[in-house]
Structure 1
Amino acid sequence: MKITKSLFLAAALALGGQAATAQQVPLEQNQVVRDGFYAIGLADEIRKNCPQISPRLIRAYSALKDLEQYAREQGYTEADVKALEDNDAAKDALRAEVNAELQARGAVPGQTSGYCKIGREEIARGTPAGRLLRD
């Protein structure tokens, strides 16, 4: 099972059972949640395509716990989480954005060098994705 899917499901399950309060946007459109999953997706694509870079699973788990806490503070419900978990279109759209960014930055599917270069850049800059990786 891919790390992104596993982490996504873990986050979704961890968010269940929370009290309802009004939100401004659906969970998948919440910018903080979206940015968090974007970073996880970017890190996952890099680590899958660059054998020299590995994931920092504890940090990824901590990032998900932070998203969980944020969602709780915003009042998202179990139904919101379930809808996000089941939203293949949103996951596919986010994956397409990640892949487009990688290709725009020089990554070529099947060639590790571009992914490794981007991964090292992310790590060096200390970006959210870079903090989820190690060289």
Structure 2
Amino acid sequence: MKRMTALVLSLALSAGAAGASAGAGLENERDINEGLLALAVADKIRRECSSIGGKFFKAQSYANGLKSLASARGYSEAEIDAYINDDVEKEKMRQRRNDYFEARGASNLDAESLCVLGRAEIAQKSRIGQLLRAK
């Protein structure tokens, strides 16, 4: 389970990343990046809010689907890995995630606001809500 969480987190934090071999390609894949943002948002909510957990198998499956989609579009394993592991781009994803929170009245520094947002996402059955579960 720890390995799965690490994989989901690394995939989630990488949206917008473009490693040296990836060029500008993957960062222009809007649907893949939106999916990675959903993973990043859900991951932060489940880590900070004690009344909400993550659906790890669903998140793993979704992350694998995004990786398969990138592969089907012609990106090599090396390009995908470079995209996932770029530290500068991970920071850009954190900022996108935090902007998402702020736009919805939440803060990455306020667990209760993340709980409120998480419960709303679950109730709306959004992509993010589908990755979360109320405890």
Q: Say whether the fold is shared (TM-score over 0.5).
A: yes
Assess if the C-alpha contact under 8 Å between 1:26 and 1:80 holds in 2: no
Amino acid at match of 1:6: L
Partner residue of 2:75? 76
CA contact (8 A) 1:42 1:129 kept: yes
Q: How far has the Cα of 1:91 moved from its partner? A: 1.4
Q: Report how many aligned residue pairs link the two structures.
A: 124
Secondary structure of the 2:127 match is coil
Instruction: Report the secondary structure of 1:129's partner residue.
Output: helix
Identity within the alignment, %: 32
How much has 1:51 moved relative to structure 2?
0.4
Greater Cα radius of gyration, structure 1 or 2: 1
What TM-score comes out, normalization by structure 2 length?
0.78
Letter of the 2:28 counterpart: Q
> C-alpha separation between the residues in 1 aligned to 2:63 and 2:115?
24
Would the aligned equivalents of 2:40 and 2:97 in 1 still touch at CA under 8 Å?
Answer: yes
Q: Which amino acid aligns with 2:8?
A: L
Label 1:88 to 1:110 Cα distance change in 2 as closer, same or farther (>3 A). closer
Shift of 1:129: 1.0
Structure 1 residues 42-57: aligned runs within 5 Å: 42-57=41-56
TM-score normalised by structure 1 residue count: 0.78
Return the offset for 1:106.
Answer: 2.4
Could you tell me which residue of structure 1 aligns to residue 36 of structure 2? 37
> In structure 2, what is the Cα distance between the partners aligned to 1:4 and 1:93?
20
Matching residue of 2:122: 123
Contact 2:5 2:56 in 1 (8 A): no
Query: Structure 1: where are the runs of 5+ without partners?
Result: 12-22
Q: Residue 8 of structure 1 contacts residue 85 of structure 1 at CA under 8 Å; is this kept in 2? A: no
How far 1:96 sits from its partner (Å)?
A: 0.8
Distance 1:87 1:2 in 2: 19
CA contact (8 A) 2:101 2:108 kept: no
1:49-81: per-residue Cα shift (whole Å, max 9, x none)? 210000000100110121122112101102211
